[in-house]
Amino acid sequence: MEVIILADAGEIAGIAADAIGALLGRNPTAVLGLATGSSPLAIYDELALRCEAGTISFRQARGFTLDEYVGLPADHPQRYRTVIDEVFVSRVDFVPGAVEGPDGLAADIPAACAAYESAIQAAGGVDLQILGIGTDGHIGFNEPGSSLASRTRIKTLTRQTRVDNARFFDGDLDAVPTHCLTQGLGTIMAARHIILVATGRSKAEAVHQLVEGPVSALWPATVLQHHPHVTVLLDDAAARRLQLVDYYRETYRSKPKWQGI
């Protein structure tokens, strides 16, 4: 696991966008895994700028989102399909239908989850997955207690996650759905490269557990310690509880400049 501590979200976005640009340069048909929430927004802004400038193209690429609330009406502004379209997909040159997400309105939820797993596999799997992390250590919406081998399924959101996300629902906790469909930890682990982004003090404990804690379903993100290619991009505030912070800084400082993440 490579831990990189940067000045701010802008610097994080530049490094993540460089990695995505390099991937699409090598493989224009690459499959991207897309997170919603606030953490990746600066990355999406940077990618939109680069696409507008003609230095990156998603024309042949595909994407799969991580998760979706269950039961939000199709026209609800916080439905993740709507959100990802607004913050990223509609701002770059994906062809229509190239980005898919789990169907939170499906009548048959288990069938919809199985179909989503099949769609990811049929696309050849995810080449690069962008992740945020919850204050309770979730990735996707794999809440504490999730099976480390789980696949796409329905999950109950913790009260903590609903409180954290109430800011997207005008602060109204009751308006935050109680359930979601999420790629499982096993699904996420199948991605070939994972970039996890965390900023701000509220993420510091989850980041400490992710990088330095024991692997445990109590902090689901710790499963990433078993992945061969994870890059963790942090600002100072999110890195403040890391025990080996000086070592991570030194490692990145002395990394050969030609080497990407």
The residue of the chain with the least Cβ separation from ligand F6R equals 132
User: Is-catalytic flag, 136?
Assistant: yes
**Closer CB to ligand F6R, 23 or 180, in the complex:** 180
Q: Where are the alpha helices (DSSP H) in the chain?
A: 9-26, 41-52, 80-87, 109-122, 159-165, 185-189, 204-212, 236-239, 245-253
CB of 7 to ligand F6R, least distance (A): 19
**Closer CB to ligand F6R, 47 or 259, in the complex:** 47
Name the residues that contact ligand F6R, by CB under 6 A.
35-39, 66-67, 132-134, 138-141
Residue 138 to residue 220: CA distance in whole angstroms:
5
CB of 257 to ligand F6R, least distance (A): 29
**Closer CB to ligand F6R, 31 or 133, in the complex:** 133
**Closer CB to ligand F6R, 21 or 37, in the complex:** 37
68, 127, 143, 235: which one is catalytic?
143
User: Is-catalytic flag, 75?
Assistant: no
Backbone phi and psi for residue 219, each to the nearest 5 degrees, phi listed first: -125, 85
**Closer CB to ligand F6R, 21 or 132, in the complex:** 132
68, 117, 136, 164: which one is catalytic?
136
Is the torsion defined by CA of 86, 65, 235, 16 positive or negative? negative
Find, among 127, 223, 215, 211, the residue nearest to 184 by Cα.
Answer: 223
What does the DSSP assignment read for 95-122?
PTT-EE---TT-SSHHHHHHHHHHHHHH
Contact 78, 72 (CB under 8 A): yes
Q: Strand, coil or helix: what is 147?
A: coil
CB of 35 to ligand F6R, least distance (A): 4
CB of 200 to ligand F6R, least distance (A): 8
Residue 33 to residue 126: CA distance in whole angstroms:
6
Q: Supply 39's token pair.
A: 């953490």
**Closer CB to ligand F6R, 44 or 248, in the complex:** 44
User: Is-catalytic flag, 67?
Assistant: yes
User: Is-catalytic flag, 85?
Assistant: no
Backbone phi and psi for residue 54, each to the nearest 5 degrees, phi listed first: 80, 15
Q: Supply 205's token pair.
A: 């404990």
CB of 66 to ligand F6R, least distance (A): 4
CB of 132 to ligand F6R, least distance (A): 2
103, 138, 193, 208: which one is catalytic?
138
Catalytic residue numbers, as ranges:
67, 136, 138, 143
